[in-house]
Structure 1
Amino acid sequence: MSNEILNLIFDKPGCKQININKVLKNVCILFFLGFACLKVSAQAPLEIKRALAEKYIGGSALIFQDSTAKLGFEEIRQLDAQFKPSQFAVPNLGISANNNWLKLKLQNNTNQEDFILNISNPIINEVEIFILKDGKVKSHRSTNYLPIRDRKYKHQFYLFDLNVKPQDSLTVYLKLNANEQILAPISIHTTEQTLPVLSSADAKTGIYLGIMAVMLLYNLFIYFTVRDKDYLVYCHYIFWVALTQATLLGFAHRFIWTDNFWLSTNMVIICGVMSGIATILFAKSFLRIQEYSKRLNRLLSFTVLMYVTALVLLLANYKQHAFQLVNLTAATVSLLIMFIAWYIYRKKYAPAKFFLISWSVFFASILVFVAKDYGLVPYNDFTVHAVEIGSALEAVLLSFALANKINIFKKEKELSQAQALAVAHENERIIREQNVILEQKVQERTHELSETNQELSNTLDHLKETQSQLVASEKMASLGQLTAGIAHEINNPINFVTSNVSPLKRDVNQLLEALKYIENVGLSEKPVTEKQQAIEDYKEELDFDYLKIEIGHLLSGIYDGASRTAEIVKGLRLFSRLDEDDLKKADINEGLDSTLVIMNSALNSNKIEVVKSYGELPLAECYPGKLNQVFLNIISNAIHAVQKVHGESGEGKLGISTYSEGENIFISIKDNGTGMNETTQSKIFDPFYTTKDVGEGTGLGMSIAFNTIKKHSGEIIVHSKVGEGTEMLIRIPIVHQISTS
């Protein structure tokens, strides 16, 4: 029957239905047990009958700590004389890398022979048992490095079978190893007793985790309702505290990371670090430490570095040092937060009172838990689960504290609103009185402003007329320059055409006379041979072959002149678009070429080399005629600057390049002329500013160019150095944007 009960909890086949009432009865075991623990002489065998009645039997054990951590079982047996009696019912073996050995002699004075030895500390990394009976040794090893499902008994506690016949005896050696502090709560149960004991332990843990889960979900729900970040930080704190306890009690290894041995052996330290940091963050958020004491806030922040250092030590495989640092930091943080809460409460911050009460409860539970580890209080259900009880009570009390803080803030808000309403009513009264006075003054000022506004309107109209006249003047100046250049450009190809017309007319007449002569010869009655000879003689006399070549050259010259004239006319048509006030898509490269055609005379007369580097550009939405005017003004200024430096030496250069980038088109017009200093660059776009001599310019060209590009939502960037030249970089968007100016 006893094996069937164990098979049921540990998932073994062939089990029967358990007695639910019996399990529930054991779940309701009281948390608070008596503090009396009997010390048993470690020299005499422990009667199993008495062991079954005791909570823990570690007081009957002998202890030896192997500092070399290398001695085997047979070597340990030879050192029996060095084993020392345990001082406590639950031996505290400290924190070290030693192999810790416990020795128990058992005498079966019952009529049963199947028992289970239970070590109810799941954070021990490894337990190995050696059972010495009748000169024979049986051993079994259980460890957190393997999944719990690989154990015979699928529970987080270490459980080992003890088979000893009635009136028989045996000796048990236990080897314990862990990264953390080792406490050895050893007990012996019959197989029938084991299920209620384990069920009771699991039920207590389940109740605790259930409470923490409820508090987590409750506060998370409140956070999504009120959007107070303190609730979110508190949920983070509850999560890590609950996970820490679940790890210490073995539930996490059993149900969460059962296949990850690294987490199973190190998560106690990791959870200690994370729960400590979560505690600090919540204390800072809830108590508003930054507002009341920046020095204490910085001091509390420093403890986070201590936790991070512990984590680094863990990753560097200094696990014992990491555990000790976590414990030291936790104690420091607990005391520091107690002091800070008291200090802020003295500053009349009401929510600190509830925090201080709840934290005191939790701190007291930690003191009881730690005192249990060092034998200052008995090792029993209450002291073992003190932190769980304290953290659950703290979670409930802090939830009340958060709710109370919201009520306080709500009252403060209502009071603030009432004060604000009273101030608003007073302001309204003052405003009404002031409005009467202001209305009188406004009426007086309105009359004055009306007169001033009329004067300003007249002045503005006058300025607009003047501006229109100045722009028209600049356009007429550009038109004069354009007309002179076009006249010169067209005159050359037209002269070429007219000079070829007279020779062509003469050659055509000769050709017609030759045709008439050949016709007469062909109609005569002479023999064919004589006709052919007469025609050949005439062609030789006329030099007919040269006549054909000459006619070809003359026609080619006339064609070239006409083509050049057509090209100039086309450029003129493109440059001086009549639809310049209409927004349309245009080819920027084509506009530049038309401008160069217009300016070709000025470029040639000053022997300026033009270097073009056009990129493939998309059609741009623009005002083509206005852009051509901008190009004309800039190129005209560049020619003037180059002519002043290089004259007609032929060393002047003008570089024009275009490219597109992103949603913009860029046009670069660069010369090797005089260049400009910083003062000139800062004033170049000012109306009427010019560096030319009197009579050479109006000073409006670059101002008009600047406003035109601005109208296109673009910009002109000037790069210039005195003596090296100037580059005007124009940027305009491909798709026209409405100017905000």
Structure 2
Amino acid sequence: MRILIVDDSPLICRQINEIINSMEMNWEIWMVDTGEKAIELIDKNDIDIVFLDIVLPGISGFDVLKFVRRIKEYGDVYVIVMTSLDDDEVIKESFSLGANDFIRKPINQVELTYRLRAAVRLRNYQYLYKSALNDLQEKNKELIELTKKLKETQDVLIQNEKMSAIGQLAAGIAHEINNPLGFVITNIETLGKYIEKFKKIIEEYDKVSKSICSDNQIDMEGVIENCKRISELKKQLKFDFMVEDIDQLLDETMDGLRRVSHIVQSLKRFARSGLDGQASYEDLNDIIEETLLIARNELKYDIEVIKEYGEIRQIYCNRGEIGQVILNILINAAQAIKSQPNRTQKSHIWIKTWEDSDFVYCSIKDDGPGIKRIYLNKIFEPFFTTKDVGKGTGLGLSISYDIIVNKHGGDIWAESEEGSGATFVFKLPIRSKLLENQI
């Protein structure tokens, strides 16, 4: 520890020197009697602690103090001002110029000893702080390099996350397809049985037709008998019921096939949209409906979706990317609700859309467990997740933020109170950033 004593009194210098040496620490002590010499030493050496007299020949202690604070950082030199002046203004001026402490003359050994120990303790803390700061700067450089590498793989991770979401939904979508496909198959099997019965009836009519159209004399009694037999056969095969049932079977079959086609087309559009970067004018309400269809299996058994669609203008956007944002929020809401094992009440998700002069808005609110306040500022950070290991990558909301804010020029935020559900709101500009980039 390097200590500089600045005082024009040899007696004072010697007294301070003896007190310091009595403390039996590893000191390097310098003594000067003018401010000029003090400035020269401080300028060329690393001094830890300065005992500085205010009244000096030539330049004053105030001038030395000004010099110290001009060329050294505040934590680099600990300055203890010494004065015999009984004037509080001197003390005020000293602290205003950057002094750390003061001692009044004549010097009291106990006072100086404890003030010096405090100064040494503080300087040691400063050394530790600088060491930690240097370590932090090195780690920051490493972090910058790591961040650069992470950015290089960001596109790959984003695509993997989307494929993961599609894979997660595929089983549910297959289940959704199985339902209409099941009764379509059943209806077709029933129609097949009806056709076999119709064939039998047609065969009987064919016999009658042939007997009437033959060159032989018509046996009217035989024809009448055949007609009676056909009538009995139609009753036996429930012909009237089949005729009425066929229209209903065909309507149900067509409805089921349309549902299957709609699901497949929605999934196809969701999977492919966003990869080609294509944007177009879209109705946000339609995108929400399509996404709800894809996520229906995640929601239908446990959650009632309440929709409040406003009359909104079309926006220029990438349909698949906006659908991905909505899907991420819906899946998070559904999983949060299902994470409540003791829940007995019906669960809900509310979806609302509206607009103002510049933006179209969408809010998705759930009545799940909510988000802890300490997490609200972190949920859009890459790789942040509160889910168990293996159940989430922490990229869903980060990707959503990138899509809404960086790609479309909108904004997205979350509002929540723990235990009271969560609300995610995003807005998209009427005049999209994507459209401006094309002009």
Question: Per the shorter chain, which TM-score range?
Answer: 0.5 to 0.7
Q: Which whole-Å deviations, capped at 9, do the CAs of 1:555-606 have from their partners, x for residues lacking one?
A: 233222212102212322342343551232111111111111110111124x
> Which amino acid in structure 2 is aligned with residue 617 of structure 1?
I
Deviation for aligned residue 1:645: 2.8
- Taking the TM superposition and a 5 Å limit, the aligned residue runs for 1:372-387 are none
Structure 1 counterpart of 2:293, which letter?
V
In 1, are the aligned partners of 2:291 and 2:326 still within 8 Å (CA)? yes
Cross-structure match for 2:156: 469
Q: Corresponding residue for 1:492?
A: 179
Task: Please name the residue that 1:603 is paired with.
Answer: 299
- Residues 573-588 of structure 1 aligned to structure 2 (within 5 Å): 573-578=268-273, 581-588=277-284
Q: Distance in 2 between matches of 1:482 and 1:464?
A: 27
Distance across 1 between alignment mates of 2:320 and 2:171: 19
Within-5 A mapping of 1:186-335: none
Query: Deviation string for 1:411-457 (max 9, x for gaps)?
Result: xxxxxxxxxxxxxxxxxxxxxxxxxxxxxxxxxxxxxxxxxxxx999
Distance 2:252 2:228 in 1: 35
Contact 1:522 1:531 in 2 (8 A): no
The within-5 A match list for 1:656-735 is 656-711=351-406, 712-735=408-431
Q: Given residue 280 of structure 2, which amino acid in structure 1 is its aligned partner?
A: K
Q: CA deviation at 1:489?
A: 1.4
Does the 8 Å CA contact 1:687/1:700 hold for their aligned counterparts? yes
What is the Cα-based RMSD across aligned positions, in Å?
2.7
Alignment partners' CA distance in 1, 2:412 and 2:186? 46
Instruction: Show the counterpart of 1:570.
Output: 265
Aligned-partner SS, 2:292: helix
How big is each residue's C-alpha offset from its partner over 1:487-511, in whole Å with a ceiling of 9 and x where there is no partner?
A: 2211222222222222221111111
Equivalent position to 1:507, from 176, 194, 201: 194
Q: Say yes or no: does 1:635 pair with 2:330.
A: yes
> 1 CA distance for matches of 2:179 and 2:321?
29
Amino acid at match of 1:725: G
SS in 2 for 1:506: helix
- Aligned partner letter, 2:295: M
User: Quick one: structure 1 residues 714 and 643, their matched pair in 2 at CA, closer, same or farther if it must change by over 3 Å?
Assistant: same
Q: Deviations over 1:706-739 (max 9, x none)?
A: 1111121111132211111111111110111379
Residues 616 and 707 of structure 1: is their aligned pair in 2 closer, same or farther, counting only changes over 3 Å? same
Q: Give the conservation status (yes or no) of the 8 Å contact 1:684–1:690.
A: yes
Q: How far off its partner does 1:517 sit?
A: 0.8
Contact 2:184 2:257 in 1 (8 A): yes
**Residues 273 and 321, structure 2, Cα contact 8 Å, conserved in 1:** no
Give the aligned residue type for 2:284: I
Question: For 1:593-629, what per-residue CA distance to the aligned partner results, in whole angstroms no more than 9, with x for missing partners?
Answer: 1111110111124x21011111122110112111111
Alignment of 1:73-88 (within 5 A): none
Residue of 198, 204, 208 corresponding to 1:521: 208
Number of equivalences: 286
Structure 2 CA distance for partners of 1:561 and 1:653, relative to 1, 3 Å = same
Match of 2:230 in 1: 535
* Other structure's SS at 1:667 match: strand
Q: Residues 571 and 594 of structure 1 are in contact (CA less than 8 Å); yes or no, is this contact kept in structure 2?
A: yes
Amino acid at match of 1:590: D
Equivalent AA in structure 2 for residue 468 of structure 1: D
Contact 1:666 1:732 in 2 (8 A): yes
Stretches of structure 2 that go unaligned for 5 or more consecutive residues are: 1-141, 212-217
- What residue identity is the alignment partner of 1:601? N
Deviations 1:68-98 (CA, angstroms, capped at 9, x unpaired): xxxxxxxxxxxxxxxxxxxxxxxxxxxxxxx
Question: Which amino acid in structure 1 is aligned with residue 373 of structure 2?
Answer: E
**In 2, distance between residues paired with 1:535 and 1:477?**
61
Question: What amino acid sits opposite 2:361 in the alignment?
Answer: F
TM-score norm. by structure 1 comes to 0.36
Secondary structure of the corresponding residue to residue 412 of structure 2? strand
Kept in 1: contact 2:166–2:271 (CA 8 A): no
Q: Deviations over 1:184-234 (max 9, x none)?
A: xxxxxxxxxxxxxxxxxxxxxxxxxxxxxxxxxxxxxxxxxxxxxxxxxxx
Pair 1:473–1:647, CA change in 2 (3 A): farther
Q: Which amino acid aligns with 2:263?
A: I
1:689 to partner: Cα distance: 1.1
Q: Does 1:626 align with 2:313?
A: no
SS at match of 1:683: coil
Q: Could you tell me whether the CA contact under 8 Å between 1:716 and 1:728 is conserved in 2? A: yes
Q: Is the 8 A contact 1:608 1:650 kept in 2?
A: no
Structure 1 residues 604, 647: closer, same or farther in 2, change over 3 A? farther
Amino acid across the alignment from 1:483:
A
Q: Separation in 2 of the partners of 1:686 and 1:559?
A: 46
Higher RCO by CA contacts (8 Å cutoff, separation 6 or greater): 2
Q: Say whether the 8 Å CA contact 2:373–2:418 is kept in structure 1.
A: no
SS of match in other structure, 1:723: coil
Q: Distance in 2 between matches of 1:620 and 1:532?
A: 67
Please, which of 220, 227, 250 is the counterpart of residue 555 of structure 1?
Answer: 250
Aligned-partner Cα distance in 1 for 2:388–2:315: 37
SS in structure 2 at match of 1:576: helix
Preserved contact between residue 709 and residue 716 of structure 1 (Cα < 8 Å): yes
Residue type of the partner of 1:694?
Answer: V
Change (3 A) 1:613 1:470: same
Paired residues for 1:402-441 under 5 Å: none
The answer on whether the counterparts of 1:485 and 1:601 sit within 8 Å (CA) in structure 2 is yes
Partner of 1:687, secondary structure, is coil
Identify if the C-alpha distance between structure 1 residues 735 and 526 changes in structure 2 by more than 3 Å, giving closer, same or farther: farther
The secondary structure found in structure 1 opposite 2:413 is strand
Cα contact 1:571–1:593 (8 A) shared by 2: no
In the other structure, the counterpart of 2:309 is 614
Deviation at 1:667, TM superposition (A): 0.4
Listed one character per residue, the Cα deviations across residues 117-155 of structure 1 (whole Å, up to 9, x for unaligned) are xxxxxxxxxxxxxxxxxxxxxxxxxxxxxxxxxxxxxxx
Whether the 8 Å contact between 2:277 and 2:318 is mirrored in structure 1 is yes
For 1:538, give the aligned amino acid: L
Pick closer, same or farther for the CA change 1:681–1:615 going to 2, 3 Å: same
> What are the Cα deviations for residues 335-365 of structure 1, in whole angstroms up to 9, with x where unaligned?
xxxxxxxxxxxxxxxxxxxxxxxxxxxxxxx
Q: Closer, same or farther in 2 for the Cα pair 1:648/1:537, shift >3 Å?
A: farther
**Which structure has the bigger radius of gyration?**
1
The answer for the alignment partner of 2:117 in structure 1 is none
Give the structure-2-normalised TM-score. 0.60
Question: Structure 1: which 5+ runs fail to align?
Answer: 1-454
2:349 aligns to what? 654
- Percent identical residues: 37
